[in-house]
Amino acid sequence: MKRIPLILDGDPGHDDAIAWLLAEAGRRRGSFDIKAVTTVGGNVTLDKTTYNALRICTLLGLPAPVAKGAEHPLTADLMNAPSVHGESGLDGPALPEPGIELSELTAVELMVKVLKESEEPVTIVSTGPLTNTAALLLSHPELKSRIGRISLMGGGIGFGNWTPAAEFNILVDPEAADVVFRSGLPLIMAGLDVTERALLQPEDFSRIKELNNPVSGIVWQWLEFFYEFHRKLGYAGAPMHDPCAVMVLLHPELFTVRDYYVEIETGGEYCRGATIADKRRVTGREPNAKCIMDLDRDGFADRIIEAIGEFT
């Protein structure tokens, strides 16, 4: 089976880190060829997400260049989520200092290089605001044909987590999301519909801790930290938002997917950043996204634990 070339674009972020762990485990098993890691401001500022990205890649031994991306959204001011991920964006365990240098290229420059050099269409996995991907599409429309698909964590059909209408990644940069959802590229949307059900529960944390390998202890501490915020909100576990965008590439059989035409609200007093799905086909528009609506949670948790077990 051919390796799928990947660009990992995110704002680490505890769940971004676990998504990238899944990608690296997939690479070790021959599923992926990780061509680049690119960072964006989101959960915390760009300097922090970039420092976190370098530390995560060092911890995982993920052998891809890391490039710094957009400091702020296309037009809006940046909003952050330190209440969820801590001031560092990756609070919890102490991590190794970066053992790799940051690329001299910007995120878009590295994305362009990867797309030009790849023999196969590249999958972009976006687990943060879509600013880098939108900037790539706006500045290099001629490279669209070299993008096979975009698997993104973002949105929610009918509800949000940062406002009643909008999910954080989309809300940070709705203009960028609008560019991506109008691009015509094959999209997989892992929205809150599935990610709020993709819970790792305390019994899963214990299974991870018992793996007792160089990475499992760190992941266990990430989960303990990330769960604490959500436990207080009544969650039964830690929502693995971003890992869904990678897991669907590895194990699509775990997920229930619906094809919808999705548009992004970029205006509005109450609904800016909403992902509005035409479930009843009233617009007559053809679907532009495969929206993940549900999952086999036990199977999802088992696959994540297996992936962590790769890091012996």
Chain residues that interact with ligand RIB, rule: CB under 6 A: 11, 13, 15-16, 42-43, 127-128, 153, 161, 167-169, 241-242
Rounded least distance, CB 288 to ligand RIB, Å: 21
Q: Which CB sits closer to Ca ion, 27 or 241? A: 241
Residue from 126, 127, 132, 216 in contact with Ca ion (CB under 5 A): 127
Q: Minimum distance from CB of 172 to ligand RIB (Å)?
A: 8
Compare residues 20 and 211 and give the one whose CB is closer to ligand RIB: 20
Q: Please spell the DSSP secondary structure of 102-169, one letter per residue.
A: PPSSBHHHHHHHHHHH-SSPEEEEE-S-SHHHHHHHHH-GGGGGGEEEEEEE---BS--SSSSS--HH
Q: Could you confirm whether 230 is annotated as catalytic?
A: no
161 binds, among Ca ion, ligand RIB, none (CB under 5 to 8 A by kind): ligand RIB
Give the closest residue to 237 by CA, choosing from 264, 204, 262, 263.
204
Q: Which residue has the tokens 């915390």?
A: 44
Residue 184 to residue 178: CA distance in whole angstroms = 11
Relative orientation angle of helices 297-308 and 243-250, to the nearest 10 degrees: 90
Query: Using CB distances below 5 to 8 A depending on partner kind, what does residue 167 bind out of ligand RIB, Ca ion, none?
Result: ligand RIB
Q: Is 16 in the site for Ca ion (CB under 5 A)?
A: yes
Q: Which residues inside 212-251 make contact with Ca ion, applying CB under 5 A?
A: 242
The token duo for 220 is: 């266990």
**Tally of CB atoms within 10 A around 235:** 14
Residue of 223, 150, 216 whose CA lies nearest to 181: 150
- Does position 13 interact with Ca ion (CB under 5 A)? The reply is yes
Gap between the terminal Cα atoms of the chain? 24
For residues 57-116, which are near Ca ion according to CB under 5 A?
Answer: none
Residue (170 or 208) nearer to ligand RIB, CB: 170
Q: Which is nearer to Ca ion, 42 or 65 (CB)?
A: 42
CB of 153 to ligand RIB, least distance (A): 5
Cα–Cα distance for residue pair 138/183, rounded to 1 Å:
10
Beta pairing class for 187-190 and 289-295: parallel
If contact means CB under 5 to 8 A according to the sort of partner, which of Ca ion, ligand RIB, none does residue 168 touch? ligand RIB
Among 92, 98, 128, 237, binds Ca ion (CB under 5 A): 128
Residues that bind Ca ion (CB under 5 A): 11, 13, 16, 127-128, 242
Query: Could you list the active site residues?
Result: 241
